């Protein structure tokens, strides 16, 4: 019940209880029919076919009431059920001379009248309809017993069933009241957890964007020769400063078309080629367009950071980017034959692979695996499932070349 909205919980719980009562009522009629047939098998002289046939209209009316669940169908069931109980009692009282068997059978035919609890799902009404059902059943069986001239029966099982119904309704009412008290606290806690996770995601993405822009540009400026700054680098720095001081990167990602997503991927590759890195692209980059917009952004940025790491740390001027599709996820591998490294020995202050690749892909439900060791090059495999965005915050904003991605999104 704690997963049901507070204003719906009482009604849903009551309806569930009523449906369970309906199933039990059908079970009671089936048990009565089986008992009659077994008694007939043990004593061939007993004629119980009429009693078995009396149960059929009751089964039909239970189906009608379950279908419509109105006060009219409830009254119709009580009328038909009362008549069937009278007919059933008439046959059983005349044919079966064992008192305890007769009492048991009469209880089984009255129990459905107790369990099929009327219209609506208000607990109090369920109890009142159950009492009405017991009264109708008791009157019908008493009339038949008087007509036949037999001894009366207490119908113990029917009374026990009524007590059970009342107990179930009371327990359900208490559970509903308790959940109504607890649920607001749970919802408040869930909302606070969501806000906290959202803030954490925004902070992580801001840190990754800062690393991808400011720190990378500072490294490029430090490695540049003396003299005026390269015009391409100057334009990139100016664009990123405008993005960092604005709010565009906080906007949700709109839907991207396929061509624009591929264009954003190719633009990132061209950015690093312009910085002197020879990048070979293999596979089918068009599969990137199948990802959610935020996943496209995260994956393209992560690829850009991997290529930036190759330029700055691998000691090689070539890299290969492979894109392939297994029908479930899009996988991109960035491979170089550089000096390699031991990830376990990477300092805590080195955020490129950890924050800009692993955590960024992880926030959109993806996974990153890295294979590298000193002297053997590095392979980074990033896998993002199609249609699954499980991160606490969508990747947002724009880094080097992401103006193309935003126009595509």
Can you give the pLDDT of all 409 residues of the chain as single tens digits? 455 565 566 667 777 777 888 899 999 999 999 999 998 898 888 888 999 999 999 999 998 988 888 888 889 999 999 999 999 999 999 888 888 889 999 999 999 999 886 545 566 787 888 999 999 999 999 999 999 887 888 899 999 999 998 888 778 767 666 666 666 676 677 778 877 776 776 676 666 666 666 656 666 666 666 777 666 666 666 666 666 666 555 554 545 555 788 898 998 899 889 888 899 999 999 999 889 888 998 899 899 889 988 988 888 999 999 999 988 899 999 999 998 888 777 765 566 788 888 888 998 889 999 998 888 899 999 999 987 554 444 433 333 434 333 333 3
CA separation for the pair 210, 351 (Å, rounded): 10
Cα–Cα distances in angstroms (integers) from residue 249 to residues 139, 191, 202, 326, 408, in the given order:
76, 23, 10, 31, 15
Which tokens go with 280? 């070979």
Which residues neighbour 389 within 8 Å (Cβ) at sequence distance 6 or greater? 292, 294, 295, 364, 365
CA separation for the pair 275, 279 (Å, rounded): 11
For 74-82, the CB contacts below 8 A with 24+ separation are 74/116, 74/118, 74/119, 74/129, 77/113, 77/116, 78/113, 78/132, 78/133, 78/136, 81/112, 81/113, 81/116, 81/133, 81/136, 81/137, 82/113, 82/136, 82/137, 82/139, 82/140
CA separation for the pair 320, 264 (Å, rounded): 17
Place of tokens 């719980």: 13
Q: Using CB atoms within 10 Å of the CB of residue 142, give its burial: 0 to 12 exposed, 13 to 18 middle, 19+ buried.
A: middle
Secondary structure of residue 380 in the 3-state scheme: strand
At residue 335, the pLDDT reads: 93
CA separation for the pair 393, 203 (Å, rounded): 10
- Dihedral pair phi/psi, residue 401, rounded to 5°: 80, 0
Q: Which of 294, 379, 377 is nearest to 368 (CA)?
A: 379
Q: Which of 274, 283, 328 is nearest to 304 (CA)?
A: 274
At residue 406, the pLDDT reads: 35
- This prediction has a pTM of 0.47
CA separation for the pair 297, 398 (Å, rounded): 8
Which tokens go with 401? 């070349």
At residue 19, the pLDDT reads: 84
Q: Dihedral (C-alpha) 129, 133, 139, 142: value to the nearest 10 degrees? A: -150
CA separation for the pair 301, 381 (Å, rounded): 14
CA separation for the pair 246, 70 (Å, rounded): 60
Which tokens go with 198? 């959202």
Q: Which of 365, 306, 355 is nearest to 208 (CA)?
A: 355
Report the chain's terminal Cα–Cα distance, integer Å.
40
CA separation for the pair 312, 327 (Å, rounded): 34
At residue 60, the pLDDT reads: 93
At residue 401, the pLDDT reads: 38
At residue 75, the pLDDT reads: 92
DSSP designation for 296:
H
CA separation for the pair 81, 143 (Å, rounded): 14
Are 115 and 27 spatial neighbours (Cβ–Cβ below 8 Å)? no
Sheet holding 278-283, edge to edge: 278-283, 318-325, 329-336, 378-385, 367-372
At residue 240, the pLDDT reads: 66
């Amino acid at each position: 019940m704690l997963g049901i909205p507070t204003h719906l919980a009482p009604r849903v719980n009551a309806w569930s209880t009523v449906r369970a009562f309906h199933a039990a009522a059908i079970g009671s009629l089936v048990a009565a029919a089986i008992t009659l047939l077994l008694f007939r098998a043990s004593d061939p002289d007993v004629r119980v076919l009429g009693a078995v046939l009396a149960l059929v209209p009751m089964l039909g009316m239970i189906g009608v009431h379950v279908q419509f669940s109105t006060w009219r169908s409830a009254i119709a069931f009580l009328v038909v059920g009362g008549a069937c109980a009278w007919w059933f009692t008439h046959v059983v009282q005349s044919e079966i001379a064992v008192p305890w068997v007769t009492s048991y059978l009469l209880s089984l035919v009255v129990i459905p009248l107790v369990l099929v609890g009327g219209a609506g799902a208000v607990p109090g009404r369920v109890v009142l309809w159950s009492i009405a059902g017991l009264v109708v059943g008791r009157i019908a069986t008493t009339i038949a017993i008087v007509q036949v001239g037999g001894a009366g029966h207490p119908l113990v099982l029917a009374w026990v069933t009524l007590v059970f119904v009342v107990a179930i309704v009371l327990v359900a009412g208490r559970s509903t009241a308790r959940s109504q008290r607890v649920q607001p606290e749970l919802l408040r806690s869930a909302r606070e957890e969501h806000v906290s996770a959202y803030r954490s995601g925004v902070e992580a993405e801001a840190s990754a964007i800062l690393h991808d822009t400011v720190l990378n540009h500072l490294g490029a400026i430090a490695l540049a020769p003396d003299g005026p700054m390269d015009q391409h680098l100057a334009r990139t720095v100016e664009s990123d400063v405008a993005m960092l001081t604005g709010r565009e990167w906080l906007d949700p990602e709109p839907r991207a078309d396929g061509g624009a997503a591929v264009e954003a991927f190719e633009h990132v590759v061209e950015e690093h080629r312009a910085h002197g890195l020879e990048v070979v692209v293999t596979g089918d980059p068009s599969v990137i367009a199948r990802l959610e917009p935020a996943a496209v952004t995260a994956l393209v940025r992560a690829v850009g950071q991997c290529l930036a790491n190759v330029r700055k740390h691998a000691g090689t001027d070539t890299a290969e980017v492979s894109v392939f599709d297994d029908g479930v996820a899009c996988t991109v591998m960035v491979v170089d034959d550089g000096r390699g490294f031991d990830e376990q020995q990477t300092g805590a202050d080195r955020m490129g692979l950890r924050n800009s690749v692993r955590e960024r892909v992880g926030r959109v439900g993806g996974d990153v695996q890295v294979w590298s060791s000193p002297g053997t090059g590095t392979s980074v495999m990033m896998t993002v499932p199609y249609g699954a965005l499980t991160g606490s915050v969508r990747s947002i904003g724009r880094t080097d070349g992401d103006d193309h991605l935003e126009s595509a999104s």
